[in-house]
Copies of this chain bind each other. A is one copy, B any other.
């Protein structure tokens, strides 16, 4: 019999007692920010629970980690503290436990309807790295541009390729994305084109949230890497393909990406995702010893990308895929990132890169779905898209189905708004 909460949770709600994802909320634009977990249509304010003395385990008893404007301090405490918090909260919210259930004053202080709050970026993100760990992306993209993937990317099955992303422009779901202006490639001998991007795209990704970091100069062993990862968020790595195409040789993506990256407000913990572990794709060639795991596992999370076209009420499905298609695992991303001694810190984000699956229906950006802008994607109601238009909204969701419950991420949404004049 599955654990149940005294708070009503519909079977298809993303926020079951088995999930309890972490976020940070505020009740008014200028009010304080405090950590919380989601349960059904409510959040539980962890600062109130701590103030009431209900975190009574040995690791969190005297901690001020929830009396903070972000989750970084809690993250820095490590997996034993994360497990203790989860056990405390699952017990406190269960239908059989009276401590919170029967304390009306505390309930009214600590449980708030989600629709009454604003969620904020839950961690202070020092650094953000975006990997390229899908098995399928390069094939799909290169197929689209008629190039041979293994000739161009001989390294991609030996290491998870990555670049440093821009941390400052990471925004919370619901934030408008201003269409960037910039240069794109010139036609023959004319100067480069300048103006609002004409090739706005989304990228469906997830990102690992680093829990505990490592010291500069001290790589983390592959077998210990998983313990450094707190959880996952949904991510839309918005991309201006024309700006990106012109600027990115030889130093990689820059302004084509740094105008905005959207994340979901909720961090789903690795503990909540544990029941949904599945085998990873077989890695051939075998990874070098510093990346070799005893068993390589992914998470079976169903992902969907919806488009609400400008001027329309209804959404349409652009893509359905699954995070299990990732070639490189989360511990491999972490171990690779630190093998040179680079120091990661609590709250750092490690983007997985695009989550494309093998079939066209699972391609995870318009660049792939339209075969590099060669043929438009035809949708219902006479709508088609090569790239995104002003007023278009992209909504990403992701969830795993348990026995009678759901572990989900909520949504990661953003609308394109016009460039400044």
Closest to A192 in B: B158
A337 lies within 8 A of B219 (CB)? no
> If A217-B178, A340-B182 touch, does A250 touch B251 (CB 8 Å cutoff)?
no
Interface residue A155 (Cβ < 8 Å from any Cβ of B) = yes
9 smallest A-B Cβ distances: which pairs? Answer: A252-B252, A180-B340, A178-B217, A163-B251, A164-B164, A255-B340, A258-B342, A251-B252, A259-B340
Within the complex, which residue of B161, B163, B180, B342 is in contact with A259, where a contact is CB–CB below 8 Å?
Answer: B342
Smallest Cβ distance from A346 to chain B, in angstroms? 11
Chain A: number of interface residues, binned into ranges = 35 or more
Bits for A247-262, please: 1 = Cβ < 8 Å to B, else 0.
1111111111011100
B341 lies within 8 A of A180 (CB)? yes
Bits for A318-346, please: 1 = Cβ < 8 Å to B, else 0.
00000000000000000011011111110
Q: Which residues of B contact A162 (CB under 8 A)?
A: 251, 254
Bits for A267-285, please: 1 = Cβ < 8 Å to B, else 0.
0000000000000000001
Interface residue A41 (Cβ < 8 Å from any Cβ of B) = no
B247 lies within 8 A of A155 (CB)? yes
Interface residue A240 (Cβ < 8 Å from any Cβ of B) = yes
Q: Which residues of B contact A217 (CB under 8 A)?
A: 178, 259-260, 420
Q: Which residues of B contact A152 (CB under 8 A)?
A: 249-250
Q: Which of A55-63, A167-175, A298-306, A383-391 contacts B (4 or more CB under 8 A)?
A: A167-175
Chain A residues proximal to chain B, CB less than 8 Å:
126-127, 129, 132, 152-153, 155, 158-159, 161-169, 171, 178, 180-183, 186, 191-192, 194, 216-219, 240, 243, 246-256, 258-260, 285, 288-290, 336-337, 339-345, 348, 420
Q: Which residues of B contact A127 (CB under 8 A)?
A: 166-168
A259 lies within 8 A of B341 (CB)? yes
Q: Which residues of B contact A250 (CB under 8 A)?
A: 152-153, 161, 248-249, 252
Q: Which residues of B contact A342 (CB under 8 A)?
A: 166, 168-169, 255, 258-259
A288 lies within 8 A of B194 (CB)? yes
Assembled-state Cα–Cα distance A129/B258 (Å):
11
B218 lies within 8 A of A420 (CB)? yes
> If A158-B183, A344-B168 touch, does A253 touch B251 (CB 8 Å cutoff)?
yes
Closest to A180 in B: B340
Query: Can you identify 26 A-B contacts, CB atoms within 8 angstroms?
Result: A129-B254, A153-B249, A153-B250, A155-B192, A155-B246, A158-B183, A159-B183, A159-B246, A163-B252, A164-B165, A166-B342, A168-B342, A168-B343, A169-B341, A169-B342, A169-B343, A180-B340, A181-B290, A181-B341, A192-B288, A216-B260, A248-B250, A248-B252, A255-B337, A255-B339, A341-B420
